[in-house]
Amino acid sequence: MPSPSPSQSQSPSQPRPKSRPTASCLPCRTRKVKCNRQTPCTACTARNIPQECKYAAPDADRQAIAQAEVIADLRAKVRRLRGRLASSSVMGIIGDEDGDFEGETGEEGGGGLEGRDGDGEEGEEEEEEEEEEDRVADLEAVYQVLRDGEWGEVQRVVGRLRAGEAVGGIAKDVWMVEKEGECVCMASRGFT
């Protein structure tokens, strides 16, 4: 029997695609149509089959999956805001080389743009943008634990989310540290 050629066999060094959890309802998955993940979804309501709109994942897990879309939107907004900030004249005052845009105090979200302008409206807008960036950073930290964390860490975070705890509080406990190219969750080291 001939052996498969190198192009036919999959090499073990090629990463396998990550499996994604199913978030769409069963009828939408069957029909391969877009599902808005509501209960019942718009597609099932339009087809007059809201009673058949069932999900394979529990409600709490579906909500966490749906938050991934929110995170992607927030990341896009952060990129857009950073682009606007980079093109403004204020960039020369507060910008740093790695693009983190931290305030002059060195604390995240602290004191960088506040009080630079006599106009209160611009200061309020900048403050709102900073708060939005803080919320995005919190969501990204929690999402990173859910995506890359050990099973025990993921269970703790999901339990806290289900209990209704604020994402900001969870993010403070799961602050991620870059160490030798891999993320280490501080929660796994007893900092929760």
Q: What is the pLDDT of residues 128-163, one digit of tens each?
A: 888 888 888 888 888 887 888 788 888 888 888 888
| Phi, psi (deg, nearest 5) at residue 185 | -85, 125
Please state the rounded mean pLDDT for residues 100-120.
Answer: 44
Whether domain 21-57 has CATH 4.10.240:
yes
Please state the rounded mean pLDDT for residues 96-110.
Answer: 43
Q: Are 41 and 53 in contact (CB under 8 A)?
A: yes
Q: Are 187 and 145 in contact (CB under 8 A)?
A: yes
pTM listed for this prediction: 0.32
Q: Residue 98 corresponds to which tokens in the numbers above? A: 């790695």
Compute CA distances 24 → 63, 66, 74, 147, whole Å: 11, 10, 22, 19
Using alpha carbons, select from 164, 163, 170, 165 the residue that is nearest to residue 142. Answer: 170
Ranges of each domain in the chain = 21-57, 58-189
Residue 101 above 60 pLDDT? no
pLDDT attached to residue 169: 79
The residue among 105 and 166 whose pLDDT is bigger is 166
Distance CA 144, CA 158 (A): 12
pLDDT attached to residue 49: 93
